[in-house]
Amino acid sequence: MSWTNNTAEIAGLDAPARALLGTLTPVEVPKGAVLFCPGEAVKGYVVMLSGQVDVNLVGPTGRDILLYRVEPGQSCIQSTLGLLGGDDYTAEATAETAARLVLIPRDVFFALIDSSPAFRRLVFSAFAERMQAMMQLIENVSFMSVESRLAALILDRSDSDGCLHMTQAEMATAIGTAREVVSRRLEKLARSGCIAQERGVVTILDRKALNQVVRGAAF
């Protein structure tokens, strides 16, 4: 599926959907922009065309935790919640890269739901996907150790050279813990030879050992 800057060409959509969406123009959002924050009213249903947006829950201490990332072709579920239930946002969305997205106003959204089976499928599957991810998140946060979550993060966000370009603070947010804890765990992983660390970069030295850690090895 290809994502162009023409909203009428959103992959897989049918005639009625294209007819309604064709009138909308994409919005450009610069890197670092906050798309919405807690308490704000919902303006419409959001579909990403390009770029990447992270949705975080922010705690009273300033600590935050990544709920999910929105990538091209996906939609922001938070907005759907608002449209369907009338509630305001409880999370905060930030553009991690410059992004282009379509904002589908409330009435157009409902018209689409009723007229386009393809659009229904899009919304439903987005829902299902996010929900699954949320349950996974709850499971991870409540039942997995920080060490395991950290090892998992390093493994699946690292590039082909085995390098992960993230600060400790970013890692902390991604796995839902505090920065200091990440510092201590990374040190432990480094001491045991799994990884090497320098300012802003973690390098995998022993993939196999790291996988053991994910699966709950004590070391």
Partner DNA sequence: CAAAGGCGTGTGACGAGGTCACACAGAAAA
Partner DNA sequence: TTTTCTGTGTGACCTCGTCACACGCCTTTG
Q: Name the site residues for DNA (rule: CB under 7 A).
A: 59, 61, 63, 143, 145-147, 167-169, 176-181, 183-187, 197, 199-200
**CB 147 to DNA: min, Å:** 5
Paired residues of 159 in beta bridges: none
**CB 218 to DNA: min, Å:** 7
Compute the C-alpha angle 8/12/13, nearest 5°. Answer: 50
- Give first-to-last CA distance, the chain, whole Å: 44
| Residue 176 is a binding residue for a second copy (CB under 8 A) | yes
| Residue 15 is a binding residue for a second copy (CB under 8 A) | no
| Residue 87 is a binding residue for a second copy (CB under 8 A) | yes
Question: Which of the choices DNA, a second copy, none does residue 206 contact, using the CB cut-off of 5 to 8 A by kind?
Answer: none
| Residue 59 is a binding residue for a second copy (CB under 8 A) | yes
Give the integer Cα–Cα distance in Å for 138 and 160. Answer: 29
| Residue 114 is a binding residue for a second copy (CB under 8 A) | yes
Question: Which of the choices DNA, a second copy, none does residue 80 contact, using the CB cut-off of 5 to 8 A by kind?
Answer: a second copy
Question: Which of the choices a second copy, DNA, none does residue 187 contact, using the CB cut-off of 5 to 8 A by kind?
Answer: DNA
**CB 216 to DNA: min, Å:** 11
| Residue 108 is a binding residue for a second copy (CB under 8 A) | no
Question: Which of 125, 118, 117 minimizes the C-alpha distance to 80?
Answer: 125
Cα torsion angle, 182, 166, 5, 100, sign: positive
- Chain positions 189 to 218 lying near a second copy, rule: CB under 8 A, are 216
| Residue 125 is a binding residue for a second copy (CB under 8 A) | yes
Give the integer Cα–Cα distance in Å for 18 and 70. Answer: 22
Tokens of 56: 């975080």
**Ranges of H-type helices in 64-201:** 77-85, 106-115, 117-143, 146-157, 168-175, 179-191
| 141 and 172 Cβ atoms separated by less than 8 Å | no
Compute the C-alpha angle 99/86/72, nearest 5°. Answer: 20
Select 78 or 177, whichever has its Cβ closest to DNA: 177
| Residue 178 is a binding residue for a second copy (CB under 8 A) | no
Footprint of a second copy (CB under 8 A) = 57, 59-61, 63, 65, 67, 77, 80-81, 84-85, 87, 90-91, 113-114, 117, 120, 124-125, 127-132, 134-139, 141-143, 176, 216
